[in-house]
């Protein structure tokens, strides 16, 4: 866990009542002679608010991939998630101005599309975690990652990079078998 000093906004929801708060002395935030323990990973301070658990876990999952330049992929997609949702895996779709991204959270799997403009992101397809029965990957020129969903249509997406798709499929299969991600 890295440490840094950031200034928390007054009346912040992430004070000493935060479930992720680490009371370590090197992670204290000074604000008008008040020391409030806040993990540095929770704060991407923009002058007004902290990032949500969904934003942080999505960024972590997305950074496991070889990324292309798409500001919407980083900025807009977390808006489609519940702020307390934990993202386990993310797989970017084919590169472009408005890419898709497949996201596996603790509760669901969804394919979101960056739309740009005011809406930013649209959820194209989703399924609850307990409905997912398997995953398949077809490599090649038109490769596809396909999630098998019980009682509904399968969810398919064309990944951007073969290496990312193979890693995603391997981790997702492990998640289906064991209930947790590989180490």
Pick the closest to residue 146 from 107, 109, 106, 105 (CA basis). 109
Contacts of 151 (CB under 8 A, 6+ apart): 131
167 and 120, same domain (yes or no): yes
Cα(164)–Cα(91) distance, integer angstroms: 7
Q: Model confidence over 53-62: pLDDT tens digits?
A: 888 888 888 8
Query: How many domains are contained in the chain?
Result: 2
Please indicate, yes or no, if residue 88 is contained in any of the structural domains: yes
Please indicate, yes or no, if residue 183 is contained in any of the structural domains: no
66 and 130, same domain (yes or no): yes
* Residue-level pLDDT, tens digit, the chain, 183 residues: 444 333 333 444 444 443 334 444 443 443 333 344 444 444 444 444 457 888 888 888 888 888 776 777 778 888 889 989 999 999 999 888 888 999 999 999 999 998 877 778 899 999 999 999 999 999 888 889 999 999 999 999 999 999 999 999 999 999 999 988 887
61 and 130, same domain (yes or no): yes
Find tokens 């398919």 and name the residue.
156
70 and 22, same domain (yes or no): no
pTM of the model as a whole: 0.69
């Amino acid at each position: 866990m890295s440490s840094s000093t950031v200034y928390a906004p007054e009346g912040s929801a992430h004070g000493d009542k935060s479930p992720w708060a680490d009371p370590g002395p090197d992670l204290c935030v000074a604000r008008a002679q008040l020391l409030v323990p806040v993990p540095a990973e929770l704060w991407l301070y923009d002058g007004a608010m902290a990032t949500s658990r969904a934003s942080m876990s999505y960024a972590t999952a997305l950074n496991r991939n070889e990324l292309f330049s798409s500001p919407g992929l980083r900025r807009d997609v977390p808006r489609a998630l519940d702020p307390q949702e934990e993202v386990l895996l993310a797989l970017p779709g084919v590169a472009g101005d408005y890419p898709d991204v497949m996201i596996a959270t603790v509760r669901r799997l969804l394919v979101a599309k960056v739309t740009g403009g005011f809406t930013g992101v649209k959820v194209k397809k989703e399924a609850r975690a307990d409905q997912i029965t398997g995953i398949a990957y077809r490599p090649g020129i038109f490769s596809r990652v396909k999630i098998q969903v019980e009682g509904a249509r399968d969810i398919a997406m064309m990944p951007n990079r073969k290496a990312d798709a193979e890693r995603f499929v391997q981790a997702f299969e492990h998640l289906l078998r064991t209930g947790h991600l590989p180490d």
